[in-house]
Structures are given as structure tokens and as C-alpha cells.
Structure 1
Amino acid sequence: MNHRQEKFVRFQDWNSERSSDRNFPYNDRARWRKVGMISNELHKVLECGSRRIKSILQALNSCLSCLLARSLGSEKKMLDPQGPFLQKWNKIFVLSCVIAVSLDPLFFYIPVIDNDNKCLHLDRKMEVTASVLRSITDIFYLLHIVLQFRTGFIAPSSRVFGRGVLIEDAWEIAKRYLSSYFLIDILAVLPLPQVVILVVIPRLRGARSLNTKNLLKFVVFFQYIPRLLRVYPLYKEVTRTSGILTETAWAGAAFNLFLYMLASHVLGAFWYLFSIERESTCWQRACGNSSACHHASLYCDDDHTGFKTLLNSSCPIETPNATVFDFGIFHDALQSGVVESMDFPQKFFYCFWWGLQNLSSLGQNLQTSTYVWEICFAVFISIAGLVLFSFLIGNMQTYLQSTTIRLEEMRVKRRDAEQWMSHRLLPEHLRERIRRYEQYKWQETRGVDEENLIHNLPKDLRRDIKRHLCLALLMRVPMFEKMDEQLLDALCDRLRPVLYTENSFIVREGDPVDEMLFIMRGKLLTVTTNGGRTGFFNADYLKAGDFCGEELLTWALDPHLSNNLPISTRTVQALSEVEAFALVADDLKFVASQFRRLHSKQLRHTFRFYSQQWRTWAACFIQAAWRRHCRKKLEESLREEENRLQDALARGSGSSPSLGATIYASRFAANALRALRRNTSKKARMADRISPILLQKPAEPDFTAEDK
């Protein structure tokens, strides 16, 4: 069936007919008449296509304008250029533009050489695929054009103070867009490659197909320029409004690497098309030198009769001969057979690798012929490779510097610390503690001054960040569970992060308490000896969610507080690396004075229950009460025994005492005497021990004066 056969067309240069007058039996007038007919037909086709495109654009514009008008409600509701919708759309459109720039070179892979018949034909499957993909990207251009007529702008004269005034007048918006990027957008969206591939080329037959090669090449290249020109301002606009893409160094490096790969893809596609063009030029020259060969026979069609022997000898590929015809840098494509393959992935990746290889080597390995345009193409490869490689290396260097600058600062600080420790002759154990602290601080903060960074932010933003960092930690502290949100915000705003290394002492017993710690991570040991008195020792462990330095809270809650800081009753030592938040004395006093809800009775009871100081005092108080109970119970038992003995003696006073009574009395007397001696010595020893065991009751604020 004829309709299933592929359409074969032979490409040829416009100027190739100058040396082929003898191949055509027509005179000059007939040839010029034929050229005029071709030009008229092309003009009619392009005019018809432009009218159709114009009608489609007008219909789409009117439909989308109506939809936008209905959705927005009135003319006053124009789109804000800095609104979330347009920011998302600009990102999508930039991505679609980059994809469109990557898809346009696919049209260059449509021509294929039939080596068996020595003719050219078109890959029908590639035609449809490239046209469909190009049409999909054109839809985004159409939507962008419509949205530009509905997007307001900030008047330059109103940017003196503040954000500026948003212009929402439809006529001003249209006038501004028509005078800026409207022409570029229209040139970029015209479906010229689809029209040439699907409409123009199928209508050209025989010798008239000589024009299709240059037509395809120049149409795609003509539209490639406005598409490239549109990407850069859009990229700058997206970066300015939303601050993405290359605001970070790694994104800039990735973007330039993508440009490098895209340039390799484009150069590979041009190399493929130019290789076919050079072989086509060789065929035309060979036919021009032979009276039996006709140019029309170089195109694969139903009436094709090849001249394989003539073309193989005049255009040698397997055994290249520069004296016959020098293919230059295109010989590799012809010899590898990539221009003959219908397997698109195979020829795509081969051409991409050729472009990447020569772009990276700046075209140093290219052996060109004396053909001028081939030399220009090689020069362009060298310049493009130099520019893109410089951008790529520059951004990579910026990225590496941004990641290593903190490390370099840490090395400088560590070197300065080592020199200072050597100058001061610090012992090795102190040096090791300093090194551990610096290393742990780097691991936790990566060299970022977190406190200074948060302090420079606005108050509401600083409050939200502090809530994110500290609120969950404060809520794990039982005494803060029932506080209201305003009080928790005040506490969070004044917390600052602190780090402690292993075996470091946070506070020692007897030292002034200047901060209250809320532990976020790590394990601590808290010990008290009741002022160093002999015979008393109490220890406990603190973990994430606990706190220490509660003496400071009692001091801050006291309405009659003094300027002297409270004395620590415990020694707190870090058993591992500890990360916590600290609340200093002045900040805690400010919070307590501003928010009297801290003085509630329920909060005071909760504080007593979870305070280590109150827990220790309660344990000592219970122990002392238990000892009093045991001593009282012993005294009562002795008193009962004594009463029982006296009763027995009273009953036996009227008669002579029996032998059993005498023995019982003697045993009781001995036991009582022994117990009396033991109790006397124990009381003497306990008199020295009970006083240190009984801790002094922790100070409790008196709010009676406040209540009055």
C-alpha cells in the first residue's frame, strides 16, 4: 500500500544547481519559472499557516481572558507579580522553557541516510514525536502570553518608599507588555518547525525538495534564538521574587552543569545535521560531474534509481581520501553509521558524547577541512566550551569555598587555641578538655553563631523560632506543663543554647547560682553533701527533660529578693556531652516580675515535687521522722516491760518469792541494764549524727506582703 510507505526526500544546498546545468534539459527561463512556482507555493502555504495560527491564538486569548475575567471577578483584580500563584507559574514556565530548548534540536535528527541506495529520507516516527513534544511546550508559551496581559506591575516612580504601587489598568499592562517581550514570545511560540515538517516538506517533490534542507535548518535555528533569549530574564525574575534556583552555590553549579550538558546536546545535533549536509554536498558534486546522474535521483522516492558505484567512488567513507573529498570533522559520523541508524537512542547518545567530548576539550582534537563553515563551527565549539567551562568551574569553586570556609575558620581557631595553650603552659588534661569542647561545639553548630543569628531577626519571627526550638523542651519539664502560652513565649525568648563536654562541672556546691538549666540532651550527676558535713551524701542523675539550678527560681519568685545570688546546694557534673538551654538570673527575675502567675500555689507545689533540693530535704525529713518513730517505739516497749515487772513484784510481795520469779527478775534486770547502757552510748553517737542529717528546709517565698 502506498499510504504505508515512508516519504523520502533528498536535501540539497540552494547553490548546488550552479554547476549542474547540463543535468537538466531545461533552459534558464524554465528553471526560473519553476523556482517562482516553488516560491509562490511556499508563500501560500506559509500565509495560510500564519492565518490559522493567528485565528487559534485569538481564540485562545479570548477564551482564556474570559475565564480569567470570570475567576477574578472584575478588571481591578489583576494578578500580583509577587503573588504565590505567579511565583509558582514562573517556576513552571522556566522549567518548560528549558525543556523546550532541549527538545528543539530533536528536529535535526529527522533526516536519515539510506546507505544501500545512496539517498536521503525522513524518519516519520521522529517527525511525529518531535512535533508533538514541541506542541506541548508551545501550550505553556500561549498560557504565559495570556497571563502577561492579566499581570500587574509596580510603577517605577512609586518605588521611592516601600513596596510601590501596583498598576492594575488593563491598557497600561498591555502597552507595557507589547513594548517589551511580546514580540519575542510570539516568535518563540510560532509552530514553524511543525508546519515545515508536516505541511511544507510532504508537498515538495523531486528537484523542488532541494530547498527543504536549508528550510528546516534555518527555521529551527531562527526560533531557537528567541527561546534562549526568553529564558534568562525569566530566570532573573524568578530569582528576584522567590529567591530560588541559584541563590545557593550548589544550585548555581548544578545549573551551569545543566547548561554544559545542554550545549553538548545542541552541538551533537548540529554535528549530525551538518554531517548529512556534507555528504549531500559530495553527492551533488559527484552528480554534477557525471552526465548520467540526476539530482532528483538523490532522494528516496518511489521512482528512485541509485548511483551507488559512482557515489561510493566519488565520496569514499570507508577509506577516506582527502584529495577526492575531505569530510573533516564530520567523517566520524559518516564512518560510524550513526547517520544511517533509525535507532534514536543510539544516535542521540553518540552525538551527545561527541558534543560533550569536544566541548570539554575546547575542540582541540578536531581535524577540520578547508571548508569555511566547518571551520566556523569548530571555532564556535572552542569558544562555547571555553565560556561554559569557565562558568562551570567558577560556580564549582564557589560551591566548594562556601562549604569549606567554615572548616577553614575552625582550623584557624584551633591553631590559635593551640598556640595560646602552649604559650600559657596549660597542662595536658586542660588542653584535652578545650579541644573536646571546640570539637563538640563545631559538631553541633557547624560554626554558625546561632544566638547572634536569631537575635538579628524581627521579634515575631524570633519568637516563632524560639517556640520551635524550645517549646517542646519546656513542655517536657513538669513545672511548665500548665503555664499559659504568653508565659511560655516569654521564657522561650530568653533561653539561650549552651554546650558542656563530658566530665565538666556545670556548678559546684557552695558556688553562686547564676543560671537555670533545662537539659535537652545528655546525662548529668547531681551530688550534695549538705555543706561538706561528715556522714551525709546524696546523689541522683539528671536526663533530658530535667532541670537544675532551681535555687535561682526560688530567689526570683521572692518579692523581697536581695541582690546576692543564691548559693548552690548541689554539685552538677556532666557525664556525657550535654546540650541544654540556659535561663540567666536577670532574665528569670524579669519574667517572674512581669508574670505574677508564676506565684500560683499549684505551680509552687509542682516546683517542690520536681526540685532536687526539696526532694533531698523531704528524704532527710522522712528519715529523721522514721528514726524518731523507731526510738519512740523502743521506749514504749521498755516501759511495758518495766510495768510488767513491777506488777509481778507487787503480786509476789505478800509471800516469799518463788524461784521462777527470782530468775525472771534477775533476767529483766540484766536486760534492762544492758539496754540502758546501749541506748546511752547510741544517744551519744546519734547526737552527733542527727544534726547534719537534718537538712535546713529550702527557702520558700513569702507572698503575704504582696497579697496585702
Structure 2
Amino acid sequence: MENSQAPVGRRTASTCGWKAVFLPQLNRQSLSVYGSEIAVEKECIRQLQSGVWVIHPFSPIRSYYIMCMVAITFLNLIGIPMEIAFLDGYSGVGWEGFNVFSDTLFLMDVALNFRMGIISEDSEVAILDIKKIRVIYLKSWFIPDVIAAFPIGYILLIAELQSHSDTSTSGSKASRMVRILMFVRIISLVRLLRVSRLVRFFNEVSNANLEYVQLFFRILSLFMMMFLLCHWNGCIQYFVPMLEEFPSDCWNATVGEKYSFGVFRALSHMIQISYGSNESPTNEVELWVVMTSMLSGALMYTVLVANAAAIITNVDQAAKEILTVMCLSLLNNVPMFQNRDVNFLNTVLLQFQHEVFQEDDVIFQQNAPGDRMFFIEHGQVLVETDSFSQELADGDYFGGQAQIRRLATVQALTTCQLFSLSSERFQMVLQGFPDIRRDMEKFSQQDKEYVRHL
């Protein structure tokens, strides 16, 4: 069987041609799921042998496709409220073209999702069977996607053509009603589901030990949410008074100027300073708009603080895990840290400080007061006295008698990466572990007796 699969494997790497963009690519994400390059190659073979055209969830084209759809969705969320509030029924060829283009992509998206492979959350195996993909999609995102893909852009284009050919008042009102229907459609926020798809995609990336990517996109999504909230609020600040049908020539200004004043008024409500926007609401509708704007600002502040706290917590947790993996073995080499409580060791690890010494640097001199002990992560040092010398390397430690004078001179033989534990930090840790503190005092007393007899 190995001989029969070898040609297929070579074809996936070199002779697959344009079909390779639909196969899983070799990257950290796919390696984290399948474990090795051979397993990724076998997954390519499995997809080719199925004989069905399916876009693999780890393929390059899927990544580019999701990025494209999220960019189009974000542009829609920016453009639709501006078109409804400020363009006053005359959007122009550019807006109408973009509406038709985006709606066409959403219609294509519904069809492509029936050919888009799915990663099973339980077994982390790509589902490439057409029937299973169809059943899963119909039970999950099919109905919201169909609603979001309703071709409003085509309806707006037809309405624009009719408004140019018919200059009657009824045609203008019909065009305005169509735009209000477009505003109602966006309230469903179905297009935000495609943003959640991007979040799920980068969650898969974060599972491949790409924590910095997860952190970056979490911060990016937070700022995108804040921007959209301010943007929509600013458009609503102008749209609600416009519904009262004030005279068309009462404010002759550009769209940019009107939008700027709308966003300024919205931000004044959201951050609750009322600077430049201290007029009282004139009717119930405006009153509710102002209250909603203030509540959205409070919500934005709450979300911002909560996410900032979560990010800081995750960074601290990640630092703790990294130190545990890198330095726990260093502690286990020291007799006084062997067979200790795990919580105590983790607390000690958080007090480690990373230090770098160049070749021939003197780390400390003999008879100098000791204030810390060192653990060698990488490098070589020379421990030297008048009567003996010894070389230490990766995993060793020195300077354990941190509260008494140095017994030897330590010099770096190569570039050394060390972790140090100061006496002050160590004493702070011991305050939370009184039982271990008593044992450590015994070790310290033995060291002092040893030095006294030198």
C-alpha cells in the first residue's frame, strides 16, 4: 500500500497544480493538529482520493477567503449607516456598485459553505464528506447567511434606475423606503457572524502555540468594536433628526462635516462630558437616542476595562507557564528545592530575573557580600578560588549561600543566560509558606556552620 500511495504523495507536493490551493498547507496550525509533516501529507492524500471538490479548512484559499469576507463585512458596517443617514437617496455609482458586489459575494458564500470543510471540535479531524458538511451547515449558519445574502443591493440599483427615469415624488419616496429597509436589515447583525468566523479561525491559530497572534487579534477586535459603536452612534445622531423632514437647505454642508459633528455629539454622550453638546432633547425620540448613546458609552467603558484586565491576566498566566516549563528543572537541581510543594515552586519561579553576561565578565568576586543565587540556563562559567577551580554549564547553579560572603570568584567563559533569585524576593516568598521557611532556616544554618569551619 505504501508503494501505491507514494506517487499520490509526490503529486500533492509538486504536480497537483492549481488544486494545491484547496489542500491543507504545511504550517504551525496544521502541524499542531496533525502532529507531523507526514500526517499533513496523508491528509492531502485523503482529500485527493475522496474525488470530491472540497475546500480544506487548513488550505491557503480558505484563509484568504475568510479575510476577504470579513473585510467586505467591515466595509458594509461602515458604509451602510453613512449611506442611509447622509447620502439622502443619492448614493452614486460607487456605492451602488459596492452594494451589488458585496451582495454577490454573500450569495456565493452561501453556495461555497456547502463545499467548505469543517474541523470537528471533538476529534480535530477535518470533515470532508459533502453530505456531512451539508447537514452541519443547514443546522447551523445556513438561515442567518441566507438572510444576510438577501440581494438588497440589486433592489437599490433598480430603485436608483427608476428614480432617474421617473422624477415624480412617489419615486423619491419609494427610494427612501428601500433605504430604510436596508437599515432594518443591518439591525439583524447577521454579517457580524462572519466576523465571528474570523475569530474562530484565529482561535484555531492560537491553538498552534501562537499566543501573540491571539493577543493581537483580541486587541484589534476590541478597537474595531469601539470604532463601529462610535461610528453607528454618530450616524444615528444625524439620521434621527433627518426623519423629522427638516428643510433640505437648512444645513448646506459636506457629508464629512455633517458626519464629524454627528460623531462629536455621539462621543460627548458616550464619555459623558457633554462638552459642546449640552442642549436638552426636544422630543421623546431624541431623548431615547441620547439615553441609548450614554448607555452604549458606559457599556463600551465596561467592556474595555474587562478586556484589558483579561489580557493582563492572560499575559501573567502565560508568563507563569513559560517560567514553569523553562525553569522548573533548574530548581529541581538544587537540594533545598527538591520535593517541595508545587505552589511554592511556582511562586519562587515568578521571582526569577533573567540576566545575560558576556564572555569574560566577572559575575561576582570572592569575599563579596552575597545577595542572590544564579541558575545557568545556557552557557559556561568558571568557579575559582585560590585552591581549586570548577566549570559549570547548563542546568547548574551557584551562589547558593546568598546571605553570606561569596566563597569564590565566578567568571563567564561564554555568553551566559542566567536566572537569578535575590535574597529579598526569596524572603518575601517564604513569608507565605511558614513550614518551608523553617526548613530553609535549617539549610541556612548548615551553610553558616560550613563556612565557619573553612
Give the TM-score of the pair, scaled to structure 2.
Answer: 0.55
Give the aligned residue type for 1:345.
G
Give the drift of 1:77. Answer: 5.3
The alignment's C-alpha RMSD in Å is: 4.9
Among candidates 298, 301, 314, match of residue 386 of structure 1: 298
User: Does the 8 Å CA contact 1:260/1:388 hold for their aligned counterparts?
Assistant: yes
Alignment of 1:302-313 (within 5 A): none
Q: Which residue of 1 aligns with 2:130?
A: 170
1:201 corresponds in structure 2 to 163
The Cα offsets for residues 444-489 of structure 1, whole Å up to 9 and x where unpaired, read as xx976756324799xxxxxxxxxxxxxxxxxxxxxxxxxxxxxxxx
8 Å CA contact retained: 2:385, 2:409? no
CA separation of 1:170/1:519 partners in 2, compared to 1, >3 Å: closer, same or farther?
closer
| C-alpha contact 1:498 1:581 (8 A) present in aligned 2 | yes
1:256 is aligned, of 222, 228, 237, to: 222
SS in 2 for 1:103: helix
Which 5+ residue runs of structure 2 have no aligned equivalent?
Answer: 1-17, 24-47, 330-353, 369-374, 394-407, 420-454
Secondary structure of the residue aligned to 2:245 is: helix
Match of 2:280, SS? Answer: coil
Match of 2:176 among 197, 201, 213: 213
Aligned partner of 2:237: which letter? W
The aligned counterpart of 1:144 is 109
Matched, 1:238 2:201: yes
CA deviation map 1:632-667 (0-9, x unaligned): xxxxxxxxxxxxxxxxxxxxxxxxxxxxxxxxxxxx
Structure 1 CA distance for aligned equivalents of residues 194 and 261 of structure 2: 27
Distance in 1, Cα, partners of 2:81 & 2:288? 19
Alignment partner, residue 180 of structure 1: 140
TM-score, normalised by the number of residues in structure 1: 0.38
Matched, 1:277 2:149: no
What are the Cα deviations for residues 514-542 of structure 1, in whole angstroms up to 9, with x where unaligned?
A: x999748xxx899786x59xxxxxxxxxx
Which letter maps to 2:226?
A: Y
Partner of 1:488: none
Match of 1:99?
A: 75
1:107, CA displacement in angstroms? 1.1
**Letter of the aligned partner of 1:145 in structure 2?**
V
Superposed, which structure 2 residues align to 1:250-649 within 5 Å?
251-280=217-246, 337=251, 340-341=252-253, 343-361=254-272, 365=278, 367-370=280-283, 372-399=284-311, 452-454=324-326, 503-505=363-365, 519=379, 531=387, 549=390, 572-574=409-411, 579-580=416-417
**Separation in 1, partners of 2:327, 2:114:** 43
Q: Aligned partners of 2:266 and 2:193: how far apart in 1?
A: 24
SS at match of 1:279: coil
Using the TM superposition, give the Cα deviation of residue 97 of structure 1 relative to its aligned residue in structure 2, in angstroms. Answer: 2.0
Q: Does 1:134 align with 2:47?
A: no
- The Cα shift of 1:264 comes to 1.4
Task: From the superposition, tell whether residues 147 and 503 of structure 1 become closer, same or farther in structure 2 (CA, over 3 Å).
Answer: same
Q: What is the aligned partner in structure 1 of residue 430 from structure 2?
A: none
How far is the alpha carbon of 1:238 from its aligned partner? 2.0
Q: CA deviation at 1:504?
A: 0.9
Q: Aligned with 1:205: secondary structure?
A: coil
Checking the alignment, whether the CA contact within 8 Å between 1:148 and 1:177 is kept in structure 2 is yes
Distance 1:499 1:70 in 2: 45
Task: Measure how far apart 1:345 and its partner are.
Answer: 3.0
Query: What amino acid sits opposite 1:368 in the alignment?
Result: P
Alignment CA distance shift 1:395-1:362 (3 Å): farther
Between the aligned partners of 1:573 and 1:456, the Cα distance in structure 2 is 23
- Aligned amino acid, residue 384 of structure 1: S
In structure 1, stretches of 5+ residues that fail to align are 1-66, 113-121, 284-297, 299-307, 309-333, 407-445, 458-496, 509-514, 533-547, 553-570, 583-708
How far apart, in 1, do the equivalents of 2:382 and 2:160 lie?
Answer: 82
* Letter matched to residue 353 of structure 1: F
- Partners of 1:573 and 1:147 in 2: CA distance: 66
Change (3 A) 1:145 1:193: closer
Instruction: For residue 110 of structure 1, report the CA deviation from its aligned partner.
Output: 4.7
Structure having the higher Rg: 1
Shift in CA distance, 192/245, structure 1 to aligned 2, threshold 3 Å: farther
1:451/1:144 Cα in 2 relative to 1: closer, same or farther (>3 Å)? same
Identity %: 13
Q: Is the 8 A contact 2:21 2:61 kept in 1?
A: no
Paired AA for residue 185 in structure 2: F
State the shift of 1:350 in Å. Answer: 2.8
State the distance in 2 between where 1:367 and 1:236 align.
Answer: 41
